[in-house]
Structure 1
């Protein structure tokens, strides 16, 4: 099996190489508009490093709560500023949206990124009141899933998380040991297992695993493995690939946003 091809996305999506530039253009336009309106707080530091910053977008009313979105890129690419426009759906529905940036492999290890995201969530949680929802895409789906592990977040923060929606998550890192990407990750069997949500206890937080129906088989497997391990809701959105499965975040009334933001039964 060609493990590198199994986890490749851009080469299997028509126009796949063009998505990052378009995301950045849309994000830049959104950031400018929100800054003019006074509804953006950009580059808020949650740590001491230059990439330990979070962008925060405010609704035009009293917030219903906080959505924290963590971007993907195989822990090796991008920053939060490439994804700002995906705050539109939740922001228009009355939620504060926070989008952290984090350090990248190989400069740091995935376990370090996990700790950074926990710190970012804690800082945001202490800044804004109300319920918290988590969402992340791909590697970001891994990271928001990891946040539900016992002892990673302070109890007062974890108790406020009502729902997590990992989108196309990498939930079992052990297959990545077989990829060339591991030259950057520097995972071994023990560290891959320690960072794999599928091997964590099932959380008490409501979780919906979301994945596109046209994704690579490896990502369909990863989503299914997490849903089975945690016995949680598993949505396969028809006709969506790895790069457009997040488009539902743009629309407050999309099925993805309804799953993420609607009230959760006690």
Structure 2
């Protein structure tokens, strides 16, 4: 792993992004407006389990969907939920794909290994609602980690053909030294077992790792490590930082949407 004198600084994002505090309320407002404009094609709060956060939102295109994109939100496994990101479904819908966004139980109530199983259960429930469609799982930051885990050999999801982890945490070992681990409660065993970089990609599942070229060096390292371990493409998106690298999911003509959905 890379040498770092301050692990917390290495994984701090907002401190290095101008106007970082303005992003979350803007995401929430844009997502809310998107859901309202979509009307009946936004099916929100669908359960995949009994726990309060075991819910997903499903957004449908105007025609019969030709594929299913699942987006897993980030927030270092500690904050946010599906409701802040609805607008990122726009690119998939314009391409004729359905898009689903699950929430999952956050730390400290759940460990990361539990979140992995919850997201797998969500993906299975989403696939069952739209059977027979090819499924691509993407996600950002902690959601990048969880989307990568969906592609690992120890998990079998119906219809999964590709994972596109965005700014993923692929090797969890460096997080053991951060103050956030007081909430995550990671130990060496779980860090090893839940790091996609230490696990094989499932046969028959393709992968493309995405990251903003202006992200923290630790995130560039994490993305590169995963791409090397999985022998898959990786893209450092020019000019993009950790908070705006996901914006391209709303643009059907973007290279990120192409990485997710082209050729399927």
Q: TM-score range by the shorter chain?
A: over 0.9
- 1:1-266 equivalences under 5 Å are 1-35=5-39, 38-129=40-131, 130-154=133-157, 157=158, 160-204=159-203, 205-264=205-264
Alpha-carbon distance, 1:263 to partner: 0.8
Alpha-carbon distance, 1:134 to partner: 0.9
Q: TM-score, normalised by structure 2?
A: 0.96
In structure 1, the gaps of 5 or more residues are none
Alpha-carbon distance, 1:153 to partner: 2.9
Q: Is the 8 A contact 1:58 1:97 kept in 2?
A: yes
* Distance in 2 between residues matched to 1:151 and 1:216, nearest whole Å: 30
Q: Is the 8 A contact 1:74 1:138 kept in 2?
A: yes
- Note the alpha carbon deviations across 1:2-29, whole angstroms, 9 max, x for none: 1011101011001011111100000010
Q: Is the 8 A contact 2:44 2:58 kept in 1?
A: yes
Alpha-carbon distance, 1:151 to partner: 3.6
* Distance in 2 between residues matched to 1:110 and 1:187, nearest whole Å: 8
Q: Is the 8 A contact 2:153 2:201 kept in 1?
A: no
- Note the alpha carbon deviations across 1:69-100, whole angstroms, 9 max, x for none: 00000000000001000000001111110000
In structure 2, the gaps of 5 or more residues are none
Q: Is the 8 A contact 2:150 2:163 kept in 1?
A: no
Q: TM-score, normalised by structure 1?
A: 0.95
Moved over 2 A (4+): 149-154
Of residues 26-35 and 167-176 in structure 1, the stretch that sits farther from structure 2 once superposed is: 26-35
Q: Is the 8 A contact 2:61 2:96 kept in 1?
A: yes
Alpha-carbon distance, 1:229 to partner: 0.6
Alpha-carbon distance, 1:202 to partner: 3.0
Q: Is the 8 A contact 1:122 1:153 kept in 2?
A: no
